[in-house]
């Protein structure tokens, strides 16, 4: 692909009065186009401007011209969504009710409260907390364990993470984790099972961690363990030793992850922050990974 440059004028106003303008400004870009907001942010940062108000990008067009320096990108950070979409009627766990997603106040009904041309929608959700991609905290398993309102952000946000490749395995044992840098990390187990999401195959014969693996992870002092499968435990029996071991040690669990194949082995951060709800041990999250581009 030929090198691309964006050519534009700008007009910057300052919140304490005055302004600055520029004409025929040229910038190397990584890609075919760039939006005005990203350009505005770049100019402000590159010129180290303070007290910036409105920034107008004017007369923008693109040319093919050899780059003069490293191309600008809107962000050096790449975010990878690791969550399934929750929709009306979704079955996450066989035997549990699907969510109901509907209007509490529709846009049409809201018009009677506002001036012409103004409307709003207020949604209504009815769901069990084990819906979609979710986090388990100790209260899910233990009556006196910490609930969602009591866990710390440090347990589920900005966690240094490692990906464990257990693709096509069913029983993921201790051997998958031996020799890995695990302490104080989120450990995400990639099995490839997410490909069966929202199909009957998702519920039967799914991958899981063994009790021995859970004990090893606890002993290694991990912060969180996630898996892209129907359950982190073997559901063919009545016991749940992995939940018991991890949650008993206040190690959070993330289940029903996806897109783990897009992650590197390490060098990224994991986030899966649930709402701060008292009396709940599980809730859907928007899990994602952040890593540096390049």
**Residues 266 and 163: beta-carbon distance below 8 Å:** yes
Distance CA 183, CA 194 (A): 26
Average pLDDT for residues 126-145, to the nearest whole number?
98
CATH H-level superfamily of 134-292: Putative cyclase (3.50.30.50)
Query: Which pLDDT score, from 0 to 100, does residue 142 have?
Result: 97
Straight-line distance from the first to the last Cα atom of the chain, in angstroms, rounded to the nearest whole number: 17
The full set of domain ranges for the chain reads 4-74, 134-292
User: Taking the CB of residue 224, how many other CB atoms lie within 10 A of it?
Assistant: 22
pLDDT digits (tens, 9 = 90+) for 64-121: 888 877 766 656 689 999 999 999 999 999 999 999 999 999 999 999 999 999 999 9
């Amino acid at each position: 692909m030929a090198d691309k440059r964006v050519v534009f004028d700008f007009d910057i106003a300052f919140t304490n009065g005055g302004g600055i303008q520029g004409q025929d400004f040229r910038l190397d870009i990584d890609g075919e186009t760039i939006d005005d907001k990203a350009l505005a942010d770049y100019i402000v940062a590159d010129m180290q401007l303070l007290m910036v108000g409105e920034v107008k990008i004017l007369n923008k067009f693109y040319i093919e011209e050899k780059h003069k320096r490293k191309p600008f990108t809107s962000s050096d950070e790449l975010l990878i969504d690791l969550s399934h979409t929750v929709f009306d009627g979704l079955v996450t766990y066989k035997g549990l009710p699907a969510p109901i997603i509907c209007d509490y106040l529709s846009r049409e009904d809201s018009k009677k409260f506002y001036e012409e041309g103004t409307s709003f929608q207020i949604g209504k959700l009815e769901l069990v907390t084990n819906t979609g991609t979710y986090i388990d905290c100790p209260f899910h398993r233990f009556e006196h364990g910490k609930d969602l309102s009591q866990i710390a952000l440090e347990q589920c946000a900005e966690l240094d993470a490692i990906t464990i490749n257990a693709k096509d395995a069913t029983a993921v044992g201790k051997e998958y984790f031996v020799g890995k840098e695990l302490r104080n990390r989120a450990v995400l187990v990639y099995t490839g099972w997410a490909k069966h999401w929202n199909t009957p195959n998702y519920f039967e014969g799914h991958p899981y961690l063994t009790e021995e693996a859970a004990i090893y992870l606890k002993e290694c002092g991990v912060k969180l363990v996630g898996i892209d499968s129907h359950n982190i435990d073997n559901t063919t029996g009545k016991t749940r030793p992995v939940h018991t071991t991890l949650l008993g040690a206040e190690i959070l669990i993330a289940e029903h992850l996806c897109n783990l194949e897009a992650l590197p082995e390490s060098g990224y951060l994991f986030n899966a922050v649930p709402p701060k709800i008292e009396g709940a041990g599980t809730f859907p999250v928007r899990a994602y990974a952040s890593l540096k581009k390049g």
